[in-house]
């Protein structure tokens, strides 16, 4: 969640050195660092629910899932970002020996908020599409039941939207299924959404 840009421009190396000492996370693009705001209760619950569901399904398999503290680098565009959840069944590749910047996620999941929705759908997704490893991108609403699944098919991205509590999303690249009920467990939604 971006809130402001620091005026001085930084090289990627300067950003990483600053970021690894910082108390608050910042994303980085085009030489600028963007501080991230805290997440809402709903946002945190959804991220937790997804991380737990994937963790259970990936147990004992050569796959990994990370929550929002794993930084991802899009080498082609220079973006460093903190997706809400990332996963891969390939051997994880990292930028350096710190192993805190993943280079090859297969799945990226972002929980939408008012302040970041346009960015997550637009510019950020454009950056993410530069990741050759990325096969699936999920956008999860936190104020209503709605999960958008973008799956890469060759050079095209195919959208599937699920907005019913009884629905499911299958992540082919990591062979996991997320139930919508599971994603929204303990999330307070408007009354009309809960009945859906």
pLDDT tens, position by position, 81-101: 999 999 999 999 999 999 999
Above 50 in pLDDT, residue 3? Answer: no
Q: In the chain, what are the domains?
A: 39-195 (3.90.1570.10)
pLDDT tens, position by position, 163-190: 999 999 999 999 999 999 999 999 998 6
pLDDT tens, position by position, 15-74: 999 999 999 999 999 899 999 887 899 999 999 999 999 999 999 999 999 999 999 999
Looking at residue 191, its pLDDT comes to: 55
**DSSP for the chain?**
-EEEE-SS---HHHHHHHHTT-SS-EEEETTEEEEEPPPPHHHHHHHHHHHHHHHHHHTTSS-EEEETTSEEEETTTTEEE--SEEEESSPP-BSSTT--EES--SEEEEE--TTTHHHHHTHHHHHHTT-TT--EEEEE-SSSS-EEEEEEETTEEEEEEE-STT-EEEETTTTEEEEHHHHTTT----HHHHH-
Looking at residue 194, its pLDDT comes to: 47
pLDDT tens, position by position, 113-172: 998 999 999 999 999 999 999 999 999 999 999 999 999 999 999 999 999 999 999 999
pTM value?
0.91
Looking at residue 104, its pLDDT comes to: 98
Integer Cα distance of 25 and 20 in angstroms: 9
Above 90 in pLDDT, residue 1? Answer: no
């Amino acid at each position: 969640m971006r809130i402001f840009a620091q005026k001085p421009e930084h090289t990627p190396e300067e950003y990483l050195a600053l970021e690894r000492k910082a108390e608050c996370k910042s994303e980085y693009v085009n030489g600028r660092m963007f501080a991230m705001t805290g997440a809402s209760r709903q946002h945190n619950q959804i991220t937790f629910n997804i991380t737990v569901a994937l963790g259970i399904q990936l147990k004992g398999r050569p796959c990994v899932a990370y929550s929002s503290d794993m930084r991802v680098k899009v080498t082609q565009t220079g973006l460093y970002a903190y997706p809400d959840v990332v996963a891969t069944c390939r051997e994880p590749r990292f930028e350096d020996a710190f192993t805190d910047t993943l280079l090859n996620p297969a799945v990226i999941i972002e929980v939408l908020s008012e302040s970041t929705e346009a960015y997550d759908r637009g510019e950020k997704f454009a950056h993410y599409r530069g990741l050759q490893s990325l096969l699936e991108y999920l956008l999860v609403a936190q104020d209503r039941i709605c999960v958008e699944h973008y799956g890469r098919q060759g050079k095209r991205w195919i959208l599937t939207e699920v907005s019913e509590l009884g629905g499911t999303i299958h992540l082919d690249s990591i062979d996991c299924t997320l139930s919508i009920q599971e994603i929204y467990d303990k999330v307070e939604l408007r009354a009309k959404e809960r009945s859906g």
